[in-house]
A = this chain, B = another copy of it.
Amino acid sequence: MIEAARGLIRERGLNATAISDVLERSGAPKGSVYFHFPGGKSQLAVEAAALHAHEQVRMIDELAAESSSAPDLISRYVDAGRDGMLASGYSRGCGLAPLVTEGAHDSEEIAETSARGFAEMVDRVTFHFVAFGIDRASARSLADAMIAGVEGALITARALHSTSPWDSIKASLLAYARATR
């Protein structure tokens, strides 16, 4: 159910994801919702976003293990975002962004979940950039730019049905990585 909620939030946002849609997609029995998620939809959204951030961190670790430098990791992460978007036919965005644009204004818990998710991703990228030999302050700024850049491409490339924002963000981040080396 958490996986189904995550997919629906990425496709249509937070408010348009009804519990009934989550049940339909996951095939879970109706009675199970308030047993597993006593907090209802809001709890499900929080757990779906936490899962999304966790998967992103896991992917960052995997890509870092295959990379030999910060530019290498940047290229692989941006390309993974672009490929995922193409595979979905431009129908799927970030699993955290809808919590920021729709949920943060009236739920402290939802606001905190998205903040924690992005912070975890930036921290992990920073960690890998430092391991590749970049000083900590530059590594953090490059990581901040990478996560924000990918987040932006998830919006504009999806809107434009074009891969060019992905390519442009990658070129921009690679120029920044070279300048901070």
Contact = CB atoms under 8 A, between A and B. Distances in A.
Interface of A: 11-16, 91, 93-94, 96-102, 104-106, 111, 114-115, 117-119, 122, 140-142, 144-145, 147-161, 164-165, 167-169, 171-173, 175-176, 178-180
Contacts of A91: 105
A168 B145 contact: yes
A148 B157 contact: yes
Contacts of A11: 105
A81 to B, nearest CB: 11
A172 B176 contact: yes
A148 B152 contact: yes
Given A152-B152, A153-B148, A102 B171 contact: no
A94 B175 CA distance: 26
A41 to B, nearest CB: 13
A161 B115 contact: yes
Most buried by B among A93, A102, A105, A171: A102
Most buried by B among A101, A106, A140: A101
Contacts of A160: 115, 118-119
Nearest to A15: B15
5 contacts: A91-B105, A101-B155, A142-B168, A152-B155, A179-B179
A100 B154 CA distance: 10
Most buried by B among A99, A140, A156, A176: A156
A106 B93 CA distance: 15
A174 to B, nearest CB: 8
